[in-house]
Structure 1
């Protein structure tokens, strides 16, 4: 299991670099692998966690905690995806969110300082790092656009189009937190869209 997870992280980084990664073993020897049960926390908001995580198996949620103790779900990361808290990657920084397993999960944790050292020496590592940051920025920009420009029904339609499997893997309460609405509002949206579908009308396409 551990070697499989490390191998998956290697494959992901090489796909970002579009080349072989020199001195891979320097990082591989420092990778830790976590097996997590549903509800288990990888790290909490405010923790020093200067690492990049690659999800080898399962599903995790990235969570902001409000002052009243309630959650707001930033995103779900499925197998094959990766994430990091940019604030925690800075020297002396801490994470701005928490990470919790939704399903039994296996996570490969790559120390960011080692990645930086390798990027200082090798162009393929620089390219992998740059493309990872570009991907992260694009994902964050898309998420912000959805929250700021789409109403709840359209955000739900978009979820249906892009990640329909989440509807069977994630409890409705957590889907509502991700969409920024209450579970009651989500139930009403689903019921209304179900009636529209039964009436034979075509739902608008979200571009």
Structure 2
């Protein structure tokens, strides 16, 4: 039993329903090495994950095997298959460790049953879904209306922790530019 996981969930949700007790007795951590996959394209996403420590990236591979980063998650992130399609169909993306990670996986079906009708969880799901939609709209706006430099400056303002934890090549992919272009932007903004 992980008290860190329970503390995190208690902080986010308050006292948990008694139905979660059995679920927590079954949960064990997974330690991932850098580059190790947590989820592969074609797998079914069957867990709620809590990233105790580390950094994960969610990415797609194109037809020629080129990766395009969709999102990053750092220490303390809680990630789950938020839509029915993500739970019911094989995924089209990968989730991989960018650095050594410790991840706790709660089986989604058990968790969903245990928190069914639990108002704090429903409120959290609503907030996460709204934030996800807001992020998607902001990213669409950035790609359609901002220059690469403006996208980088927005990233710098909104997610400074990414700049210290995510490798340059991965940040460039998320910004939709090459790592060479990102290096030039950074040099231009921070001469010397």
Fold shared, TM-score > 0.5 on shorter chain: yes
What is the RMSD computed on CA atoms of the aligned residues? 2.4
Match of 2:2 in 1: 3
Deviating more after overlay: 174-183 vs 130-139 = 130-139
The Cα offsets for residues 101-137 of structure 1, whole Å up to 9 and x where unpaired, read as 1111111112221232123343333333333333333
Note the residue ranges of structure 1 that are not aligned, 5 or more in a row: 199-207
Q: TM-score, normalised by structure 1?
A: 0.79
**Structure 1 counterpart SS, 2:68:** strand
Match of 1:205 in 2: none
Match of 2:15 in 1: 20
Confirm or deny: 8 A CA contact 1:89 1:112 kept in the other structure: no
Match of 2:118 in 1: 122
In 2 relative to 1, CA 67–128 (structure 1 residues): closer, same or farther, beyond 3 Å?
same
Q: CA deviation at 1:90?
A: 4.9
Q: TM-score, normalised by structure 2?
A: 0.84
For 1:30 and 1:72, locate their aligned partners in 2 and report how far apart those are by CA, in whole Å. 35
In 2 relative to 1, CA 147–109 (structure 1 residues): closer, same or farther, beyond 3 Å?
farther
Note the residue ranges of structure 2 that are not aligned, 5 or more in a row: none
Match of 1:44 in 2: 40
Match of 2:68 in 1: 72
Match of 2:158 in 1: 162
Match of 1:102 in 2: 98
Confirm or deny: 8 A CA contact 1:49 1:89 kept in the other structure: no
**Structure 2 counterpart SS, 1:165:** helix
